[in-house]
Chain A
Amino acid sequence: MTSTDPGTKACGLQIRALGVAFGERTVLDDFDLDVAPGEIVVVMGPSGSGKSTLLRSIAGFTEIRTGQIDIDGIDLRGVPTHQRKLGYVFQDLALFPHLDVGENIAYGLHRRHEPSSVRTARVAELLALIAMSGAERRSVTTLSGGEQQRVALARALAPRPRLLLLDEPLAALDIQRKTELADELRRIITTTGVTAVHVTHDPDEATRIGDRTVYLQPR
Chain B
Amino acid sequence: MKFLRSAATTTTTTTTTIVATLALLGACSSSAPDTTARITAETTAAVAVAPAGTKRSPIVLLAYDSFVLTKGVLEGFTKTTGIPVKLVTQGDAGELVNAAVLTKGDAESGVLWGVDSTFLTRAAKEDLFVPYESSNAADLDPTLRALAPKNEVTPVDRGDVCVNFDKAALAKAGVDAPKTLDDLVDPKYRGMLVVQSPATSSPGLAFLLATIAAYGEDPATGWTSYWKKLAANDVKIVSGWTEAYETWFSAGGGKGDRPLVVSYGTSPAAAVLFGPDPKASTSPTGVVESTCYRQVEFAGILRGQPDALDESKELIDFLSGPVVQNDIQLNMFVYPANTKVAPAKEFASFAVSPDKAAELRPAAVDAGREGWIDAWTEQFG
Q: Do A and B come into direct contact in the complex, CB within 8 Å?
A: no
Q: Taking beta carbons and an 8 Å cutoff, which residues of B are in contact with A?
A: none
